[in-house]
Amino acid sequence: MPRLRKPKSTPISLFIPGTDLDDHEHDRGSFFIMERTPKPDASEESDQFEAFVYGRVSWHYRKCWKSKLLPPPPYLRDITTTCLHSCPEISAYAVVGSEICVSVDGIAYKWREVGRWTLPFYGKVEYVAEQKLWFGLSAMDRRRFAAADLSVMESQQQPQLLASLNDIDLPEEWKERRDPQLVYLGSGEFCIARFFHSRTARGNSGDGLNDQSFVVLTGVAVVPHPDGRDGNVKLEMVIHKLI
């Protein structure tokens, strides 16, 4: 695997599988690394957006992983609409078929605008093939683990959440230190890592403060079952472990 053309300060990463899942030798997919808060960029190719693609550098070389710079998205090219001091953050990102949303086409490596709305998630969104749904943390409330169908995205309408579950109740003194992280474990199971800091009075006299930093890991299982009314299958999201 080649090195990054340029280190990323707040990177996000996504993998698009190859079109032929059985042909690991010739089609291994593409791996994307991007700045989460990219700066204005009017160049043809930007080192803030990189793709690692498996193929030949030229016809007489063996196939290998090679890096490719991507063009910046259109909104970064328009300096007049991009704030130089507070750049827009990529708040949510997902793989939908051969595309990455924020909408860079994972086959042609070109950006296109899908619609003037945001994804209903915050952070990384994971696809579960068995359910044909995408799962992540809700943009409206990051304490809620949610599901949505992103397969049909209309230009005029934001995708809607189909189900959500409050995976954690926070004591008032717990303050989040950084963004939560979602990891898909396979078979419809997820792990959510949350990072907290608390400051409480020490002892009954309250003559000092206890500072604590800690991580809470929540396991969530997504279980399909018949709803008993019209023969359809609905989803049940079950918290099965809290550490």
Q: What angle do CA 239, 232, 153 make, to 5 degrees?
A: 80
Q: What's the total number of domains in the chain?
A: 1
| In a domain? residue 117 | no
* pLDDT value of position 231: 45
Are 41 and 77 a contacting pair, CB within 8 Å? yes
Query: Percent of the chain beyond pLDDT 90?
Result: 22
Q: Which of 91-95, 118-122, 209-213 has the lowest mean pLDDT?
A: 209-213
Distance (Å, whole) CA 35 – CA 43: 15
Beta bridge partners, 102, equal none
Q: What is the DSSP string of 43-56?
A: SSSEEEEEEEEEE-
Distance (Å, whole) CA 123 – CA 98: 19
| In a domain? residue 189 | no
Task: Give pLDDT tens digits for 37-63.
Answer: 888 888 889 999 999 988 766 666 677
Segments forming the whole domain that contains residue 16? 1-93
